[in-house]
Structure 1
């Protein structure tokens, strides 16, 4: 049954937040403030979304605009997560290359109706997961380029181009960005029942319909994330999608 706002929900949220903060304190993770801040932001953001979502879902044009806002926030978030805020156009390009064809196939095929009520949740799921893949790509590859700078210089000394030398360092780290999506797809129905499946069931759909919807989402995410990682890789090798310190150290 859907969760209803009220005292039981408030108590559950407070207890869960206290558990998270306490675990961080006991484990000396020093994330207490960030955990509390994240929870507070989630509360405010979801409250705001709840106020506007009805109007947004009533028209496809408003839903598309809302999806663009979500995409903009995702680009803003990932560029700061990877420490390359000035490279936001290239981050947006990498994510859009994964997002656009995936959503096009989903809606043009007729597998999902072209309505505001369908566009916002599907776009939100795909955008969120492409953001995750992009962030993991940047964090893993940029860390490798910093830690293995000697390997980069050695590759250059052997006559490799700059792009080839960067590729020698980062190539083996790229698949790590796909691990969360691959694990979710491999274990769906056995370990987890993701949101699309549960949402269809709560909306009155049959288990077969829920399974079909979830399969569409999972395969779509694999496509979107893989394309995003591949495009980000090319942009990193070209020197476009890099933080300032790496642009300097790699002489881009």
Structure 2
């Protein structure tokens, strides 16, 4: 008997009900994200339907799997660039930050032989790590921009006492940088006690043992810690060097 959710009319009804609940709660609670929730839910359905249609073919070929990973990386970079309110020309720098976190982790997992170098091994691990690095880039950058905007006086005071622009920027943004890493750290600390994340459930649904599921999940979580830390550090460096900076903040004195 399959343990996977039934992909029939009942699933459609549940998705509609849950989306409507999210919208109603957001409206009543004054959160103001109703439209984004509907768009996100609709995009998730369409995108996953499209992925499901081609994933079987992609998984049969390492070449196609690598191509799909590159597509995920590109989308992650563009998504983070847009969320940070940056011009398209900054996408290369954002991609460098995401790649600095994701690429070494994926290479270590595959190169060590812990994750088999095939489609079913590459795609899930790379997808989760890239997604985590994207989140770290977005959260780190947004917090850095908020701090620079709110603490312009501190930044200018740093310049006044002889700090360089890069040093003054770090003085302002570094204290907030750790907040981007808190969700990943908390998820890792509470795994198995509070949550059973995707990799664990995925292995179980795929017929793996509980031990195999645990091994897959701890690999992903620890990999995420490393990837997100590296990405956050690179984003801070690029913000301090004005490689990643919103247009409205470029008017700050140097």
**Structure 1 residue 30: Cα displacement:** 2.3
Is the 1:75–1:92 contact (alpha carbons within 8 Å) kept by the matching residues of 2?
Answer: yes
* Superposed CA offset, 1:5-33 (max 9, x none): 11211111111111111101111222222
* Superposed CA offset, 1:208-252 (max 9, x none): 11111111111100010001111111111111111111122245x
1:118-197 aligned within 5 A = 118-197=121-200
- Between the aligned partners of 2:126 and 2:186, the Cα distance in structure 1 is 21
- Choose from 17, 27, 30 the match for 2:19: 17
Is the 1:87–1:243 contact (alpha carbons within 8 Å) kept by the matching residues of 2?
Answer: no
Aligned to 1:225: 228
- Between the aligned partners of 1:55 and 1:201, the Cα distance in structure 2 is 22
- Choose from 233, 241, 244 the match for 2:244: 241
- Using the size of structure 1 for normalisation, the TM-score is 0.97
- Choose from 33, 51, 54 the match for 2:53: 51
- Using the size of structure 2 for normalisation, the TM-score is 0.96
**Size of the alignment, in residue pairs?**
251
**Structure 1 residue 67: Cα displacement:** 0.5
Aligned to 1:114: 117
- Between the aligned partners of 2:182 and 2:252, the Cα distance in structure 1 is 29
Q: Moved runs in structure 1, 4+ residues, more than 3 A?
A: none
Are 1:206 and 2:213 an aligned pair?
no
- Between the aligned partners of 1:239 and 1:21, the Cα distance in structure 2 is 38
**SS at 2:251 equivalent:** helix
- Between the aligned partners of 1:207 and 1:195, the Cα distance in structure 2 is 13
- Between the aligned partners of 2:37 and 2:104, the Cα distance in structure 1 is 35
- Provide the alpha-carbon RMSD of the alignment: 1.0
* Superposed CA offset, 1:24-44 (max 9, x none): 111122222221111111111
**SS at 1:120 equivalent:** helix
**Structure 1 residue 89: Cα displacement:** 0.9
Aligned to 1:95: 98
Q: Which runs of 5+ in 1 are unaligned?
A: none
- Between the aligned partners of 2:125 and 2:23, the Cα distance in structure 1 is 32
* Superposed CA offset, 1:58-101 (max 9, x none): 10010001000110000000011011133111111111111111
